[in-house]
Structure 1
Amino acid sequence: MTKTPAPRRRAPGMNPGQRREMIIQAAIPLIGEYGAAVTTSKIAAAAGIGEATIFRVFADKDELLAACVAAAVRPDHAESQLASISLEQPLADRLAEAAEALQAHLARIGMVVGSLHASGHRRRERSSGEQPRGAGRDESLAALRASVAELLAPDRDSLRLPAEQIAALFLGLLFTQPRQDDEPQLTAPELVDVFLNGALTARPGESS
């Protein structure tokens, strides 16, 4: 006797917030490739949904692009990576891992914002309920600074300044590196070595 196969269960549905996030994550790599020229049909295909579904959670393509920029700038993923760094490691190793996570965060922002700018996309005017420009960036920097300060905490007694100030200096060095294609970038360990030990190979009067 042939058994009748059990009917497949449908995957649980997503709420609008989850669907928005899923579409954003599918769209971000495509924005890096196509810039503002990316089509909603390509995004829908990448997300495995019908194109009409996009417009159930986004008013139009501009709103979707703005949401992708906001998601790229958001520090959540970088914060999660920083929080996963073991405090049992030496300080230099902790900061090297932090530098790699933050460099990846910056690269993601640059990919999205740079691709949109290069393809002629301009940010539309703020709505009355939207945060002032720069407010989100300040909050993101504060969150990242606090996360780096946590990594410094085990060595607090050895620091010349409070951990928050050291973290701010570290982020400043990391975020202001020259990014020209013809200039080699410091690796994370190289950057940390300069940060912790200075630019000189030896202090005046000391042998190298």
Structure 2
Amino acid sequence: MDEPRTGRARPMSRDERRAAIALATVPLLEAHGAQVSTRQIAVAAGVAEGTLFRAFDDKVELLTAAAERALDPAAGVAEIDDLPRAADLAAELTQLADVMAARGRRVRRVMFAVHAILASDEGRRAAAVRGARGADPLGRPITGPAHADATHADDAAHAPGHRPGDRLPLHGPSGRDARLRALAEVRAAVVRRVEAYRGELRIEPERLAHLLIAAVMGQGPPVLPDDDGVPVTELVDVLLHGAART
């Protein structure tokens, strides 16, 4: 005999609650940086402020988890895959450059916020507390000398079985590996888009994707996180036709 339905949703596990709160915090982190308040986060997540600190040890851990979620390449890849089919190669490259430039600006704002959080008095106090109890700045247990280079969690972030939304390391050698893997995922998404125009190209789609990403990511240096840089239409025009007169 089937059990009667109660009409109540299954309670979230702690991990699920953490993920939901981090996801709700991302747009606030982009808009307000390290100055976002726990009250704003609680309202966005639809929970009481006390719930935040049952899911996370402190605000620093919460904001860092949100930053890791914002940097997950799955979101950028989904944006690229969901673009409509363009009328021609120039239009395709323009919309790809638009998406990547916008995401680049968001990522730069998030990274500025992360560095501000970790460098703040609150961040240093949180790091000291975690260090005293044998944990890293994100609250993960320190398991041995190799931890400084790569934790088990960091290894998982760039392993073949990595899933969208899994924690991505922000710093250190394993963090660099994860960022390279993220870049490779975005490049593959761009290749899928330009493959349809292979017959119009004198270089391989993979090379065009590499050049487009390099051109877009070369804009907006870290000291100017909100600089719009070169208009994407101009960037695409020069990429396709060159700068020299024919």
Q: TM-score range, shorter-chain basis?
A: 0.7 to 0.9
> Aligned residues: percent identity?
32
The whole-number CA distance in structure 2 between the counterparts of 1:76 and 1:181 is: 22
The whole-number CA distance in structure 1 between the counterparts of 2:188 and 2:234 is: 23
Residue 13 and residue 144 in structure 1: after superposition, are their counterparts in 2 closer, same or farther (change >3 A)? same
> What residue is the counterpart of 1:57 in the other structure?
55
User: How many residues in Structure 1 have an aligned counterpart in Structure 2?
Assistant: 195
What SS does the corresponding residue of 1:59 show, helix, strand or coil?
coil
The whole-number CA distance in structure 2 between the counterparts of 1:183 and 1:58 is: 34
Q: Equivalences for 1:17-56 in 2 at 5 Å? A: 17-56=15-54
The whole-number CA distance in structure 2 between the counterparts of 1:70 and 1:147 is: 21
Q: Equivalences for 1:101-180 in 2 at 5 Å? A: 101-118=99-116, 120-121=119-120, 125=136, 127=142, 128-131=151-154, 132-179=174-221, 180=224
Residue 33 and residue 156 in structure 1: after superposition, are their counterparts in 2 closer, same or farther (change >3 A)? closer
Q: Deviations over 1:59-96 (max 9, x none)?
A: 33332222112112112222112112233521111111
> What residue is the counterpart of 1:189 in the other structure?
233
1:97 pairs with 86, 95, 98, which one? 95
Offset of residue 183 of structure 1: 7.4
What SS does the corresponding residue of 2:175 show, helix, strand or coil?
coil
Unaligned runs of 5+ in 1: 1-8, 204-208
CA contact (8 A) 1:33 1:115 kept: no
CA contact (8 A) 1:31 1:116 kept: no
Offset of residue 164 of structure 1: 1.5
Residue 184 and residue 116 in structure 1: after superposition, are their counterparts in 2 closer, same or farther (change >3 A)? closer
Unaligned runs of 5+ in 2: 1-6, 128-135, 143-150, 155-173
> What amino acid maps onto 1:160 in structure 2?
R
> What amino acid maps onto 2:153 in structure 1?
E
CA contact (8 A) 1:75 1:105 kept: no
Offset of residue 33 of structure 1: 4.5
> What amino acid maps onto 2:200 in structure 1?
S
CA contact (8 A) 2:67 2:114 kept: no
- Please report the RMSD computed on the Cα atoms of aligned residues, expressed in angstroms: 2.9
Is the radius of gyration larger for structure 1 or structure 2? 1
> What residue is the counterpart of 1:74 in the other structure?
72
Offset of residue 18 of structure 1: 4.1
TM-score by length of 1: 0.78
The whole-number CA distance in structure 1 between the counterparts of 2:21 and 2:94 is: 32
> What amino acid maps onto 2:75 in structure 1?
H
The whole-number CA distance in structure 1 between the counterparts of 2:220 and 2:45 is: 35
Residue 15 and residue 92 in structure 1: after superposition, are their counterparts in 2 closer, same or farther (change >3 A)? farther
CA contact (8 A) 2:77 2:185 kept: yes
CA contact (8 A) 1:85 1:94 kept: no
Residue 66 and residue 169 in structure 1: after superposition, are their counterparts in 2 closer, same or farther (change >3 A)? same
Residue 89 and residue 56 in structure 1: after superposition, are their counterparts in 2 closer, same or farther (change >3 A)? farther
> What amino acid maps onto 1:139 in structure 2?
R
